[in-house]
Amino acid sequence: MTGTDTVVEVLGTEQHACWAERVLPPVEQLAGWLWSVPVPIPDNPLRYTSSYVLLGDDGPVVVDPGWDSPDGWTALTAGLAAAGTTAGEVAGIVVTHVHADHHGLSWRLREQSGAWVAMHPAERDTLPQRTRTADPTERRRAVERWLARSGAPAADAAELLAPLRGDQDPGGMAEPDVLLDDGDLVPVRGRTVRALWTPGHTPGHLCLRDEDARLLLTGDHVLPRITPNIGLAPETERPALADFLTSLRRVAAFDDHDVLPAHEWRFRGLAARTAQLVEHHERRCAELLGVVAELGAPTIWALAEHLTWSRPWSEVGAMRFGAIAETAAHVGYLESLGQVTRSRGEDGATVVRLA
């Protein structure tokens, strides 16, 4: 994720102040029925996930329980206590998407409460245990093949693969009991909260809209400061960026809504913020076309190396995964627009040319 200058009105002023002070923000009551609970993400620049507790007539519903760690569980249960409830009383869990910083704690919360778990069907299909990369060794091989197709030099590939041990278990991800399609009502009795399908960051990403309170929970789809990663899943090569841009234009309509994102701080100004994100990707596409013109027939890796990042390429480190995925997402998008072509080079790596 990359940072940009903000164009939004900050509503979460305490969250914003705490960010500057590098401390975890407090649990906050946003309305009689709604609480914001920061759940820490260990050793991660995102620092925390904002979980939301919706107090429905049938019991609390937790949106994005957060990263599975002892500190995370302590923070989540403390937040539930502040909201006057307990983990055991939770009636339901909704995840905007299945990234570990959102869905990690769902299994534990369900174990304590018997709560239902809801997500979009396209998101369910990406659960680690449902993909061909469920097996850690297989997953490592898939990443290895993906790096080779990107044209990663052997030394870089070895360095990037080193932390991915074959014995790591990506499991523990809760299967859904409830599937939410676009427009479906989230089962929170007493409130009208509707699911809004916003693919891009992930295939089944959901935003949640309370139309009466004029609130939009945006998950990772729109954040006030950073640009969400697009196309991080090595196993899919669909043009996620096209989906993302469509999803951005879709939520721009809720400019008068308070935005409750899963990271950073609450804000208002979705029209300006989504326009900024669209513009960021347009600039990026233009830059990429320029690099393809300059290099002739580069690999994804060579393209990424020549694009500008928030730090020099030699210092991008493990974030090279994200950089490669983002570059591939832009190439896929430009290919869908008929502006570039992709073909297989002699060594098996993908080669990009101007169309």
- Pick 68 or 101: Cβ nearer Zn ion: 101
Rounded distance, CA 97 to CA 49, Å? Answer: 13
| Type and span of the H or E element at 53 | strand 48-56
- For residue 160, the minimal CB distance to Zn ion (Å) is 20
- Pick 264 or 305: Cβ nearer Zn ion: 264
- Pick 198 or 327: Cβ nearer Zn ion: 198
Distance of CA 95 to the CA centre of its chain: 11
- Pick 227 or 339: Cβ nearer Zn ion: 227
Site for Zn ion, rule CB under 5 A: 99, 101, 220
- Pick 210 or 220: Cβ nearer Zn ion: 220
- For residue 99, the minimal CB distance to Zn ion (Å) is 4
Two structure tokens written together for 43: 């050793």
Distance of CA 91 to the CA centre of its chain: 25
Q: 152-155: long-range contacts at Cβ-Cβ below 8 A with a sequence spacing of 24 or more?
A: 152/301, 152/324, 153/301
Residue pair 28/193 in contact by the 8 Å Cβ criterion = no
- Pick 262 or 349: Cβ nearer Zn ion: 262
- Pick 178 or 233: Cβ nearer Zn ion: 233
- For residue 331, the minimal CB distance to Zn ion (Å) is 21
Read out DSSP for 272-297?
HHHHHHHHHHHHHHHHHHHHHHHHSS
CA distances from 115 to 72, 90, 98, 222, 241 (A): 18, 6, 17, 27, 34
CA distances from 242 to 201, 219, 234, 278, 337 (A): 11, 19, 17, 10, 9
- For residue 165, the minimal CB distance to Zn ion (Å) is 23
- For residue 326, the minimal CB distance to Zn ion (Å) is 14
Rounded distance, CA 52 to CA 277, Å? Answer: 25
Select from 68, 11, 21, 19 the least CA-distant residue to 226.
19
Report strand pairing: 9-10 vs 2-3. Answer: unpaired
